[in-house]
Structure 1
Amino acid sequence: MGIHPQIQKLKRADIVVACPGRLLDHIRRHSIELTQLETLVLDEADHMLDMGFIPDVRQIFKHLPVNRQTLVFSATMPHEIRQLTKTFLNDPVTIKIGVTAPADTVSHAFYPVAHHLKTALLLNLLENSNAESVLVFTRTKHRAKSLGKKLMTAGYQAASLQGNLSQSRRQASLDGFRDGKFKILVATDIAARGIDVTRISHVINYDMPSTPDTYIHRIGRTGRATRSGEAYTFITGEDKKMVNAISRAIGSNIEQRILPTFNYGGTSHNVAHRSRQYKKLHRNKVERKR
């Protein structure tokens, strides 16, 4: 909806639902008056953080009355959101609904690896596993898109799911993954929200999640409906604190694995070599079937 129809509707509204940027636009246009606001609700606060909306939210708070009720809803509580609540909420009460815990059907493993060898390690894992349906998590949209392309170049049926996709392309990726057209889906935490696929056999954290809660949310996509699932996490030397935090959240030390078939002294150039190896192996399998 354009800005001018919104201005007309705001004249008669008691409840306003808005994204931070558009609300801030109306504040600057003086088309909305917030001095009498009674209740403010911030929904999906961690989503706003990942989308870069928190600076706009801070600006909006400057235009709100001191006496108000503020409710913050968030699937996870990263440090930045906790700081926001401390700054703008007065003696807030925390309510945690449905204490998260990993399913017993999921097995966990950490894979230590240098950052520049992550893609090569991922290819090695895929080549040497019986993974049926794999969900790979990355920290950024750019990395999700780039990794998806690399997996396709290596010969895998893969797609990426990230915020820059149009709704139609996002839906096509989701449907293809759900229907088995794509064996691998690479996604960011935000883009992966709403994925409901019961047959995911493996969740691979290409990038370390930012909080233990995020880790549990990620791996909750596998091991569903009494099926067994595997959760692999690539860890670098920078991830020691989060490794310990996740182990505490799980309630046990997670096994650290070294792949005997992987060259840990290699370079990122080995990715192209492994791509050729995979294509050759795939051709041989097809020929044997014939």
Structure 2
Amino acid sequence: MSRLKSGIKKAIGLGEKKPKTPPVEARNPAKMFPDEPASPARTGERPRRDGPRRDRPARAEGDERGPRPDRPAREPREPRGDRPPREPRGDRPAREPRGDRPARGDRPDGRGPRRGEKPARERDAGDSKPRENFEALPPPPAPPAPEGPFPEAFEVLGLSPAVLAAIRETGYEKPTQIQAEAIPVVMEGRDVVGASQTGTGKTAAFALPTLSRMGAPGKFRCLVLEPTRELAAQVVEQFEKYGKHTGLRVLLVHGGVGYEKQRKGLQQGVDVVVATPGRLLDFMQDGTANLENLEVLILDEVDRMLDMGFLPDVRRIVERTPKSRQTLFFSATMPPQIKTLAEFALKDPTSIEIGIRFSPAETVSHYMYPVASDQRQELLLAILKKTHFASLMIFTRTKAQADQLYSALQQEGEYKVAVMHSDIRQSERERALKGFRDGEFEVIVATDLAARGLDISGVTHVINYMVPENSEDYVHRIGRTGRAQKEGDAYTMFSAEELPSVASIERLINQKIERKKLEGFTYKYTTVLDEEDKARAILHGRGKKKRR
């Protein structure tokens, strides 16, 4: 009887939920059974009581039309509109403040800040104003030619009086070997491949004849590419020193600083640009730097540019220069890989090679210190305490190692120490270099960033905290000492894992390096201390296992 009463109540529409359901159920029968008249059984009070889960199996059993009966079971979800959180759907106009987004376009071009001016805005550190263009200025008149007498050994090479006067003021009387051989060839306008040891006067070998050939100020005619900003800054100093009486304008272009000052120099007019590849390409892409009038292209430290991955950038720059240009290659070393680039960039070049390729200065004494990997820092500090040095450079593989050693040496409190790597701000790196040259610092800890080409004279000792990963880098690191026929010492600490790199260096320089142990130092046992062959055999065995 109770079931009958409940069925009657449903049929006549009694119950508390009636006011809420008719609008929903009035639509459902028409959708589900369009060809059948609506019946009390289908008007839908049962879905309100039993829920969709009890509806689904009942309809699926009585419907032969396949899975379609499952769809009506989802219709009861419509009452979700009863949920308080969903009611405000009708109030969605509250989201209309999205329309305020055009505020991003309150820029001159109406675009947002991220995409509107990405190259200029994001790269120009500290440049909050829109890019400013500068009018070209007429070149300054050439100053009057200085009078002699000039150093005779340089005068016979055919250099201009303005350049000879600057040489006279520096006190140089005799050119180095690479200068004596390269200057006449460059003065003739021929391409050159020059290979010489670091510290042989390579920069002057290309700066002196280039400044002499350029004559009076005019357009942007000479480009010098350098791998790092430090090298670029030093080359600018050399060009300014030797070109002080020529009136030629020299500009330094490199990353790490704002664009506007460099852009101003390029647009107002310049004769010589010394640049790193990345920043120069930026100016070439935005039209600020134009190489169509270039007469001389100088690629310095080419092997280092290749090592640092600049080869694609260098090629792109070379491709944008006139084919009639003169091209000069100068490098402390000449690995075979450079031949490909030389064939691409040079025309019938004259090869000038001073000294032995990959050979450090003969006045340097080399020593290898075997040590367990976890005792490396302890040995370094012990070596310093027993070594008499005037100026010392310590090279590390990583910035983290450099920072760690710098902190350890500072804690010792016995040394005036500076650190230099790519994470150090440019101003601090320049201060470190200047302080090291002037004697303010007696020890400098550096990564390979500082290993090549830096003009630091008087270094008495170089220590490799680890064996360089590239054997060529050993020559560049060691090139800091033993300059100008002065004696120097080079120490390299190595563990068993680094034996293959040690062998590579010895093959490269064609020299067996003496092994040394520090007297009085308590070594941890490692096979590399007394049994290199055994250590090498163990490494060889590990390599075989890995290959399997």
State the TM-score, normalizing by the size of structure 2: 0.39
Larger Rg: 2
Structure 1 partner of 2:447:
188
Structure 2 partner of 1:283:
none
CA contact (8 A) 1:135 1:187 kept: yes
Q: How many residues align?
A: 262
| CA distance in 1: counterparts of 2:330 and 2:466, whole angstroms | 25
Question: Residue deviations 1:34-83, cap 9 Å, x none?
Answer: 46755432223345456654443233345456675533222234566555
| CA distance in 1: counterparts of 2:400 and 2:493, whole angstroms | 18
Structure 2 partner of 1:144:
402
**How far did residue 155 of structure 1 move?**
3.5
| CA distance in 1: counterparts of 2:401 and 2:494, whole angstroms | 16
Structure 1 partner of 2:523:
263
| CA distance in 2: counterparts of 1:14 and 1:103, whole angstroms | 36
Out of 289, 304, 315, the residue aligned to residue 58 of structure 1 is 315
Out of 413, 419, 438, the residue aligned to residue 155 of structure 1 is 413
| CA distance in 1: counterparts of 2:397 and 2:311, whole angstroms | 18
**How far did residue 225 of structure 1 move?**
7.5
Out of 346, 366, 383, the residue aligned to residue 125 of structure 1 is 383
Structure 2 partner of 1:28:
285
Unpaired stretches in structure 1, ≥5 consecutive residues = 267-290
Unpaired stretches in structure 2, ≥5 consecutive residues = 1-259, 527-548
Structure 2 partner of 1:197:
458
**How far did residue 226 of structure 1 move?**
7.5
| CA distance in 2: counterparts of 1:226 and 1:70, whole angstroms | 31
Question: Residue deviations 1:71-102, cap 9 Å, x none?
Answer: 32222345665554456556765422355755
| CA distance in 2: counterparts of 1:116 and 1:85, whole angstroms | 44
CA contact (8 A) 2:371 2:523 kept: no
Structure 2 partner of 1:274:
none
Query: Would the alpha carbon gap of residues 15 and 23 (structure 1) be closer, same or farther in structure 2, given more than 3 Å must change?
Result: same
Secondary structure, counterpart of 1:149 in structure 2: helix
| Amino acid in the other structure paired with 2:478 | I
Secondary structure, counterpart of 1:107 in structure 2: strand
Structure 2 partner of 1:287:
none
Secondary structure, counterpart of 1:207 in structure 2: coil
CA contact (8 A) 2:457 2:483 kept: no
CA contact (8 A) 1:112 1:234 kept: yes
| CA distance in 2: counterparts of 1:32 and 1:132, whole angstroms | 44
| CA distance in 2: counterparts of 1:262 and 1:82, whole angstroms | 48
CA contact (8 A) 1:44 1:74 kept: yes
**How far did residue 232 of structure 1 move?**
0.8
Secondary structure, counterpart of 2:506 in structure 1: helix
CA contact (8 A) 1:113 1:234 kept: yes
What's the % identity of the aligned pairs? 45
| CA distance in 2: counterparts of 1:239 and 1:176, whole angstroms | 33
**How far did residue 156 of structure 1 move?**
3.9
* Superposition pairs of residues 71-90 of structure 1, within 5 angstroms: 71-77=328-334, 81=338, 84-85=341-342, 88-89=345-346
Structure 2 partner of 1:96:
353
Which range moved further: 138-147 or 207-216? 207-216
Out of 108, 130, 133, the residue aligned to residue 366 of structure 2 is 108
Out of 201, 225, 232, the residue aligned to residue 491 of structure 2 is 232
**How far did residue 142 of structure 1 move?**
4.4
Greater helix fraction, Structure 1 or Structure 2: 2
Question: Residue deviations 1:169-220, cap 9 Å, x none?
Answer: 335434544565544221234425111225x2x2211133466664344334
CA contact (8 A) 2:396 2:466 kept: yes
Secondary structure, counterpart of 2:514 in structure 1: coil
**How far did residue 137 of structure 1 move?**
1.6
**How far did residue 130 of structure 1 move?**
4.1
Secondary structure, counterpart of 2:353 in structure 1: coil
Structure 2 partner of 1:276:
none
| CA distance in 2: counterparts of 1:182 and 1:102, whole angstroms | 25
| Amino acid in the other structure paired with 2:456 | I
**How far did residue 119 of structure 1 move?**
1.9
